[in-house]
A and B are shown apart, each in its own frame.
Chain A
Amino acid sequence: MTTLQRQENNPIAHLTAEDIEAIGRELDAIRDEVLAARGERDAAYIRKVIKVQRSLEMGSRAVLLFSLFPPAWLIGTAGLSVAKILENMEIGHNILHGQYDFMRDPKIHSTTWEWDHVTPADQWKHSHNEVHHKYTNVVGKDNDLGYGIMRVDENQRWHPFYLAQPLWNFINALFFEYGIAAYDLELGKNLKTRKRRNNPQFRANVKAVGRKIRRQVLKDYIIHPALSGPSFLHTIAANFTANLVRNLWSHSVIMCGHFPNGVSTFERTSIKGETRGEWYLRQMLGSANISGSRLMHIMTGNLSHQIEHHLFPDLPSSRYPEVAVKVRALFEKYDLPYVTGPLPLQVASAWAKVIRLSFPNRKPMPDADPSIPPRMPVAEPAAA
């Protein structure tokens, strides 16, 4: 990635200030349409997903009580993996965004929801909703760019530490939920000085994460295995596998949101006095989608519609597919690159970048990587 301002082929060079505000108005109109239609269907949808997830989790954990038998282990582990993925992605992430707050149901609300994750919901909401979604892809502001341990943009200064970043990325994938907890705590920054270490807010946050980890570990690695009796060790292995599967899956999906080729980053100074139209445009150019089936979209928590999610983070995820049709038409109308592709391709693209940028580069390079074809043919500019 190269910040938009330094790209050789600036994707928005052809837009006037009036165009950008017009895009903003069109996106506002798309949002209004969804708000007018939002209601029973969306409430029924999230309730159904929650019901399926809870039934699947209860069923899988019950089967795992007999995990000594290989078929039970396989079925239970597969079921629990899917349940855990649903819980974090389509349910937790989206409810914590306030997407279903409109229902006024205190049981399904961003202020009361807690998820099956070692990072407490309120800390995640701060780093994700407040920081990442506001400063999407602004170098130096959005810590999601490389999570503070990787260099994913030519403009980030190289350091020998980054030579091993493919390894860091792999380790982060394996223990992703702990990586997120460390990230939400801003451990790197907060452990540096004594003053920061002793900050009461930081200490309280560390305590909260500690409590959450204790409960999560107790559940998956002590209580549930103990209830399985002779299957004790097998259930530990099953729960470890389910957590691992979820970590790898969510890490892959989330890497595809902003790292693949074709996504733009932005300079810190570029967001000064940003208008609503410009904010929308930054979300459009700073995110990438994943194409696939309906099941695929549900399993990614509709983060496969990352572009739509970043434009409208508080609209119900169940509406993203229909919103995507309109948003994509808008991209074509204004001749903007809509970055999307199947999961394996997008994951490969993101990994290629992690590997490529582990080495120093002399000057910011154009974003195009000849080894990977563009995923979406950009409409021919009419005047060209």
Chain B
Amino acid sequence: MPVTQTLRNGAWRVVELITTPVVPTDYLDVIAPLRNPDVLRARVEAVRRETANAVTLELRPGRGWRPHEPGQYVRLGVDVDGIRLWRAYSVSSAAGHPSGRICVTVNAVRDGVVSSYLMDHARRGMIVNLDLPAGDFVVPRERPAKSLFVTAGSGITPVMGILRSAGHELSDVVVVHSARTPQDVVFGAELRELAARGTIRLVERHTGADGRIKPADLDTLVPDLFERETWACGPGEMLDAMADHWAEAGIAERLHVERFRPTVLVAGEGGTVAFERSGVTVEAPGGVSILDAGEAAGQLMPSGCRMGICYSCVLPMREGIVRDLRDGTVTTAVEGDNVLVQTCVSAAAGPCRLDA
């Protein structure tokens, strides 16, 4: 109804005028954080332990959510010790849950700040920030006649999402999964159950006893290997080796991979600073602020007190690592973090990409 729509818009405009200088939803957040259409959040509805090193979170996404396709991932923004950190997790539940809930399965990563926080602190009722689902690690609508999934460790999570959603639509499925021990297999019981029912053929490899699978092993484990549309998810070396193997066979397009990129950032001295919008790149030494280095390279930089107190010079760091020249604190940003850094007191401690 256009009339009610006009009335609603008018009423909303009045609410906006009375909540200036903030927006009405900032007040709404006090009561109903999931109702905010501008900030997507989710409530943790349940926490399930999968293995000693994995936990599944059942999430109820708030307003603004768009359903995912099986195999896609979501980024979660979790406040760890007061600091919001974003990480990507594959959706492990079946698509199309009537209540709109989704599950993500978090595997403890060594030195992983967010994963270990979620292992220890995730509780029912906790609110996390959420991004819309993304990723092209999906099975096409036109289902392949034969498919193969090669996974290792936490790489099983997106595949579990696919099997739970579309397993019954795939006729000939082989799953080759590696984990260190039988107890470490996330969703182990469910996978073995699917195999017992004949939905999938499961090849379970326990690397603690039998060593890692090489692409050549796949030729014997799955004789019709190259007749299959293949999806692989696991550590980088495994995916690289598989990509080579498929490329040699001349059918690189039949292999689809999902890389979990635990970006390893090691603090060094200085680095290449790239200002993405202007295209300026500069080699910044470890003892020089990014502000000084940028200005010296002809980059137009916002600046103020030049001593770290006024916050006029902050720029979003898309990816990279910087060190605070005052106290040596190291700040890192991985793709999507957009950490704001004070350029006047921050020096590059590795390659950095800034949004400027």
Residues of A within 8 A of B (CB): 28, 31-32, 35, 38-44, 51, 54-55, 58, 61, 97-98, 101-105, 107, 109-111, 114-116, 125-126, 129-130, 133-134, 212, 215-216, 218-219, 223-224, 227, 279, 313-314
Contact = CB atoms under 8 A, between A and B. Distances in A.
Contacts of B81: 39-40
Given A111-B340, A125-B312, A130-B304, A35 B329 contact: yes
Contacts of B308: 314
Nearest to B85: A104
Contact of B309 (A115, A129, A216): A129
B310 A133 contact: yes
B14 interface: yes
A110 B326 CA distance: 20
A103 B81 CA distance: 9
Dominant secondary structure at the B interface:
loop
A111 B14 CA distance: 26
Contact of B312 (A41, A107, A126): A126
Interface in B270-328: 304-305, 307-312, 314, 326-327
B83 A133 contact: no
Contact of B82 (A103, A109, A110): A103
Contacts of B39: 107
A123 to B, nearest CB: 12
B259 interface: no
B26 interface: yes
Interface of B: 14, 17-18, 20-22, 26-27, 29-30, 39, 79, 81-85, 304-305, 307-312, 314, 326-327, 329, 337, 339-340, 342
A219 B339 contact: no
A154 B339 CA distance: 46
Given A39-B83, A126-B304, A218 B327 contact: no
Contact of B26 (A42, A98, A107): A107
A103 B84 contact: yes
B79 A103 contact: yes
A313 B311 CA distance: 10
A313 B333 CA distance: 25
Given A32-B327, A130-B310, A314-B309, A102 B82 contact: yes
A45 B309 CA distance: 22
17 contacts: A28-B327, A39-B83, A40-B82, A44-B82, A55-B30, A61-B18, A98-B342, A103-B79, A103-B82, A103-B84, A125-B310, A129-B305, A129-B310, A134-B309, A212-B21, A215-B21, A218-B20
